[in-house]
């Protein structure tokens, strides 16, 4: 087994603002695993919220003992060992997991969704994310997203009412709100009661993740469903969120990849909660891996690749917002000509 990595800046089409940060680019680590005659692609999209960066993910991957990944066909055993070795670097684990699943599909000659017995026609419609911005820019972003029937709107600052008013000036499309831990519980209740009259489907992470009692207080009173994001990292967090949230946002790069996401989906269902597959800013590699699981979930927020100007890969796409899965074996992802492809194939060509 050989691992090749390259770190890249995903350049955002617009400055991406949420309640706690603003970015013009995000770093991803693109990974290629070579196993015999097969190779697989993966992506680590580290999230600073969890103490991970592009350099830390890449360094963890470079230090990973490749003997731990043998044989690739024993994917559960391999991922147990990789998880222990990588520790808190869950984005790096996700990259290994995605690449191994890509190899598995290629060895079997089937798309990843077929391995799990899923119907690609049952993919959901993904939302399109509108970051916090000036009112005129908000309007511009909404108009640019005309092909998406559902919007996800970032809130959590003092201009929340203005943002929604400007959106409603130009569209009546359904909206999903993400406050990214930006509200107090009283503020959250007041705003959610107002948002319930604005064709809003649900609210994501309105309160700080470290205040579970406030989350339960709000869930008992909220007229809209509440989804956990920052409050849930992995499988073990889910049972404790019953009564505090109505649904869970699962991100491959946050939980460690396809295998853990599948476990989380089934556990969330068993706990009587709804499931959303989400993302951060990612290339089509990470987005496509998540999209293969999307027939299992209630909602999708898999638009990270359409928010950037330099996506290095081609994979899942959207048709009027509905996720369309590629037909090739494994992920069905191909690399575009450019520096990422050059970096990942340099060793192969030597």
Residues facing 218 on adjacent strands: none
Q: Is the pLDDT at 337 greater than 90, yes or no? A: yes
Q: Is the pLDDT at 347 greater than 70, yes or no? A: no
Q: Are residues 164 and 77 in the same domain?
A: no
Mean pLDDT calculated for residue range 218-243: 96
Q: Are residues 300 and 323 in the same domain?
A: yes
Instruction: Locate 227 and state its tokens.
Output: 């989804």
Q: Are residues 131 and 280 in the same domain?
A: yes
pLDDT of residue 346: 73
Q: Are residues 191 and 273 in the same domain?
A: yes
Q: Are residues 23 and 139 in the same domain?
A: no
Structural domains of the chain, count? 2
Q: Are residues 323 and 191 in the same domain?
A: yes
Q: Is the pLDDT at 2 greater than 80, yes or no? A: yes
Q: Are residues 144 and 261 in the same domain?
A: yes
**What CATH number corresponds to the domain at position 8?**
3.30.390.10
What does the pLDDT look like over 78-121, one tens digit per residue?
Answer: 999 999 999 999 999 999 999 999 999 999 999 999 999 999 99
Work out the percent of the chain whose per-residue pLDDT is above 70. 98
pLDDT of residue 104: 96
pLDDT range class, residue 306, cuts 50, 70, 90 = very high
Q: Are residues 244 and 304 in the same domain?
A: yes
Q: Are residues 68 and 217 in the same domain?
A: no
CB 97 within 8 A of CB 72: no
Q: Are residues 76 and 123 in the same domain?
A: no
The CA distance from 350 to 348, in Å, is 6
What's the mean per-residue pLDDT of the chain?
Answer: 94
Instruction: Tell me the whole-structure pTM to 2 decimals.
Output: 0.95
The CA distance from 29 to 53, in Å, is 10
Q: Are residues 95 and 173 in the same domain?
A: no
Q: Is the pLDDT at 348 greater than 60, yes or no? A: no
pLDDT of residue 73: 86
**What CATH number corresponds to the domain at position 195?**
3.20.20.120
Q: Are residues 127 and 186 in the same domain?
A: yes
Domain that holds residue 37: 2-111+336-349
Q: Is the pLDDT at 189 greater than 60, yes or no? A: yes
Mean pLDDT calculated for residue range 280-286: 97
What does the pLDDT look like over 116-160, one tens digit per residue?
Answer: 999 999 999 999 999 888 889 899 999 989 999 999 999 988 889
pLDDT of residue 117: 97
């Amino acid at each position: 087994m050989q691992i090749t990595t390259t770190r890249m800046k995903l350049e955002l089409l617009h400055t991406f603002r949420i309640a706690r940060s603003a970015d013009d680019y995000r770093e991803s680590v693109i990974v290629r695993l070579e196993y015999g005659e097969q190779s697989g692609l993966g992506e680590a999209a580290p999230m600073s919220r969890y103490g991970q960066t592009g350099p830390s993910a890449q360094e963890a991957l470079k230090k990973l003992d490749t003997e731990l990944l043998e044989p690739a066909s024993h994917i559960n055993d391999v991922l147990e060992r990789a998880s222990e070795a990588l520790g808190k670097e869950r984005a790096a684990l996700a990259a290994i997991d995605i690449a191994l699943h890509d190899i598995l599909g290629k060895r079997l000659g089937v798309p990843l969704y077929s391995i799990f017995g899923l119907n690609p026609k049952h993919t959901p419609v993904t939302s399109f994310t509108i970051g916090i911005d000036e009112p005129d820019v908000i309007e511009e972003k909404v108009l640019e997203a005309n092909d998406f029937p559902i919007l996800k709107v970032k809130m959590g600052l003092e201009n929340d009412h203005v943002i929604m008013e400007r959106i409603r000036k130009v569209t009546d499309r359904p909206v999903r709100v993400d406050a990214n831990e930006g509200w107090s519980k009283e503020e959250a209740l007041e705003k959610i009661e107002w948002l319930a009259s604005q064709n809003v489907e649900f609210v994501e992470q309105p309160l700080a993740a470290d205040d579970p009692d406030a989350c339960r207080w709000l869930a008992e009173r909220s007229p809209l469903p509440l989804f956990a994001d920052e409050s849930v990292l992995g499988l073990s967090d889910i049972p404790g969120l019953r009564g505090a949230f109505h649904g869970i946002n699962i991100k491959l790069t946050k939980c460690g990849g396809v295998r853990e996401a599948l476990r989380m989906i089934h556990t969330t269902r068993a706990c009587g909660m709804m499931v959303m597959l989400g993302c951060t800013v990612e290339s089509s590699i990470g987005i496509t891996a998540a999209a293969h699981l999307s027939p299992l979930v209630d909602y999708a927020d898999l638009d990270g690749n359409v928010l950037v100007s330099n996506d290095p890969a081609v994979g899942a796409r959207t048709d009027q917002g509905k996720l369309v899965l590629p037909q090739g074996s494994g992920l069905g992802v191909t690399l575009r000509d450019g520096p990422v492809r050059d970096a990942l194939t340099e060793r192969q060509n030597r």
